[in-house]
Amino acid sequence: MSKQKDGGSAFPMIDSDINGVGEHYYFSTGGMSRRQWYAGQALAGMLASFSGMFSLLEHGYASKIANGAFMIADAMEAESEKQNVV
């Protein structure tokens, strides 16, 4: 599995032992990146934990909130690389 800046696929598929000799192949079929998944999880937590969040959204802060979710995702991805979690 190649290391990508976005963390690669959030849900990589594993096709195990396709040739019958016990080798395991990892591949991704595209879709959502791990960075996007982290950002979505961060956004869900932000929306669930701050009762004033919807007021901010109504006042035009949606892009700043989304940017914050991606900042958290980038921090998680950087920490994953430090800890060698791929």
3-24 residue pLDDT tens: 457 777 777 666 555 666 666 6
Identify the three-state secondary structure at position 82. Answer: helix
Q: Is residue 1 part of a domain?
A: no
From residue 75, alpha-carbon distances to 28, 49, 69 in Å are 23, 20, 10
Under a CB-based contact definition with an 8 Å cutoff, are residues 72 and 42 in contact? yes
Q: Quick check: is 7 in a domain?
A: no
8 domain-assigned: no
Domain of 19 in residue numbering reads as 13-82
The answer to whether position 23 is within a domain reads: yes
Task: Please report the beta strands in 1-86, taking only residues with DSSP state E, as ranges in sequence order.
Answer: 13-16, 24-27
- One-letter amino acid at 23 equals E
Residue 2 lies in a domain: no
Q: Name the domain count of the chain.
A: 1
Q: What is the pTM of this model?
A: 0.66
The pLDDT tens digits of the residues spanning 50-85 come to 888 778 888 988 899 999 999 999 999 999 888 876
